[in-house]
Amino acid sequence: MAEKTEASNGSSVMTGAARLVLLTLASGQFLMALDSSVMNVSIATVAKDVGTSVTGIQGAITAYTLVMAVLMIPGGKVGAIIGRKRAFMIGCVVYALGSFTTAIAPNLPVLLLGWSFLEGVGAALILPAIVALVAGNFGERQRPAAYGLVAAAGAIAIGLGPLIGGIATTYFSWRWVFAGEVVMVVGILALARRVADAPPDRRPRIDVVGAVLSALGLGGFVYGVLRSDEWGWFSPKPGKPSWFGFSPVVWLMLAGLFVIWLFFRWEHRLARQGKEPLVDPDLLRNRQLSGGLTMFFFQYLIQMGVFFVVPLFLSVALGLSALETGVRILPLSLTLLAAAVGIPRLLPEVSPRAVVRIGLLAMVAGAVTLMAALDTSSGAEVTTVPLLLVGLGMGALASQLGSVTVSAVPDELSADVGGVQNTVTNLGASIGTALAGSVMIAVLTSSFLSNVEQSPAIPAEAKSQATVQLSAGVPFVSDAQLQAALDKSGASSEASQAALDANADARIDGLKVALAILALTGLVGLFFVQRIPTTQPGSAHRPDD
């Protein structure tokens, strides 16, 4: 290939053909990242259109990232068998089918089929292939810049997603976002013919048992977290299933962890027998790689938790339109892009460990600042500074972690690393969304019922009915939605106002506790930053630690 030949001659300048290849792969990364943020500003609208609740859309978002998490490593193996380019193109076709299905979805089951399943399967083929195709199409000296630009494309998508979703939902329909993705896939497929394949050195086998165990383990654990708001974390909620006196959530999480343990035991067994495991245990013993993967997990857990909580505050609690919500999230986009692009350009030799630590602290500071500022009288302006901090942290982490993980192993293992990396990021995203949502609903329910019980304006009979009917979970609804329900029930104006006040207070309580959990998670992540190297990949001096 011309690009590799140039690199071997000492040139790091890309030709026009190389730029076109980079545009194709970066567009694929942009498309994959776009789906993780574009619909968060439209959660309430999507829920209404497909006849479900905020919790239902939360489940769809979680399922999408979970499907990617459990299929990402097998997807990388499939690419090694059929060819990275072919896997990339097939994944694009499957993804386009999922986007089209989502665009016409009349109800939640069809939305789950298109968005959560088909798009998730397509992404599981596309993302590992992108990592391998970058390595296969660019020489060693060009590769860091290529990986950086592909990562920047993902950061741009995350940053612009809320604004794109807000404009589409306000002036057209959220469905046009997914229709636009189909058009974008057609363009990517047209450009992909210029991408050279990255044939593997050998034909791997797929560890079917390992794939099934990892899917069951991860799926069971995350599904348990997701259902906690409806079933209860430990004690089962009234009218909900009980397994041996406990909520099914406990058993699902325990079973998930046990199956994950079995998965790793199986992988070690295959490695000892000289067979090919789904994930090489030796790969995870690499200190630099495991450090980068751990930071990816914490980044995406906090990131997707924030992307779930903040739009709910803006669109449901404050009643902003999807476009207004997208505009309010724009500060995050600005600092994200500035850090993701600016840090490598202005500080090429900066310590990755220092940048990652500062980035994680910035995300924690953003969550804590917003948690402290939220109040029933708060306006949309309280989100500006916290989102600037969260965006800064996201951009700082994005500028370093991809290079840290890829440079930790030889080039021939880049696709394997890509699969594991994308598994970890999507696992973090699914747990972040599920955890933030379940904690928020649990606190919302407890606070609302407590506020109703203490209100003298609400009749005793209404209090009793609320306790019975809502103890299993209070939906996250706007004042307008609650007022409509109260009018339908014939509640007095005094009782209606008391219920509205109780709901407003409970919403804020739920949002604040969810942010507190995300901030606490970020602080836990600080204990793992020491695994990140202190020098940039390729530096002449490598530290002993």
Q: What is the pLDDT of residue 318?
A: 85
Distance CA 444, CA 471 (A): 11
pLDDT band at 484 (very low <50, low <70, confident <90, very high): confident
Q: What is the pLDDT of residue 9?
A: 40
Q: Which residues, in sequence order, are bridge partners of residue 243?
A: 246
Question: Model confidence over 297-315: pLDDT tens digits?
Answer: 999 899 888 888 888 888 8
Q: At what angle do helices 119-137 and 54-82 cross, to 10 degrees?
A: 40
Q: What is the pLDDT of residue 360?
A: 95
Torsion of CA 340, 33, 62, 254, to 10 degrees: -60
The greatest distance separating any two alpha carbons of the chain, rounded to the nearest whole angstrom, comes to: 83
Distance CA 307, CA 386 (A): 12
What mean pLDDT do residues 438-466 have?
78
User: In which residue are the tokens 């990755």 written?
Assistant: 352
**HEC string of 19-77?**
HHHHHHHHHHHHHHHHCCCCCHHHHHHHHHHCCCCHHHHHHHHHHHHHHHHHHHHHHHH
Are 434 and 225 in contact, with CB atoms under 8 Å apart?
yes
Residue 434 tokens read as: 């599920």
| pTM for this entry | 0.80
pLDDT band at 1 (very low <50, low <70, confident <90, very high): very low
Q: Which residues, in sequence order, are bridge partners of residue 246?
A: 243
User: In which residue are the tokens 């097998």 written?
Assistant: 74
pLDDT band at 164 (very low <50, low <70, confident <90, very high): confident
Q: What is the pLDDT of residue 38?
A: 77
Please provide the distance, in angstroms rounded to a whole number, between the alpha carbons at the two ends of the chain: 37
Distance CA 198, CA 279 (A): 20
- CA 397 from centre of chain: 15
Mean pLDDT of the residues in the chain:
82
Please indicate whether residue 290 or residue 198 has the higher confidence score (pLDDT).
290
Are 428 and 296 in contact, with CB atoms under 8 Å apart?
yes
Residue 342 tokens read as: 């600016």
pLDDT band at 237 (very low <50, low <70, confident <90, very high): confident
Q: What is the pLDDT of residue 202?
A: 63
Distance CA 291, CA 275 (A): 26
Q: What is the pLDDT of residue 144?
A: 61
Distance CA 311, CA 317 (A): 9
Best-predicted range by mean pLDDT among 26-30, 127-131, 220-224, 456-460?
26-30
Please indicate whether residue 94 or residue 214 has the higher confidence score (pLDDT).
94
Q: What is the pLDDT of residue 143?
A: 66
Distance CA 267, CA 282 (A): 10
Angle, CA of 173, 177 and 180, to the nearest 5°: 125
Q: What is the pLDDT of residue 513?
A: 92
Share of the chain above pLDDT 90, in %: 21
Distance CA 34, CA 181 (A): 9
What mean pLDDT do residues 517-529 have?
94
What is the DSSP code (8-state) at residue 243? B
Q: How many CB atoms lie within 10 A of CB 287?
A: 13
Q: What is the pLDDT of residue 7?
A: 41
pLDDT at 3 over 50: no
Q: What is the pLDDT of residue 124?
A: 87
Question: Model confidence over 402-430: pLDDT tens digits?
Answer: 778 877 877 667 667 777 887 888 788 87
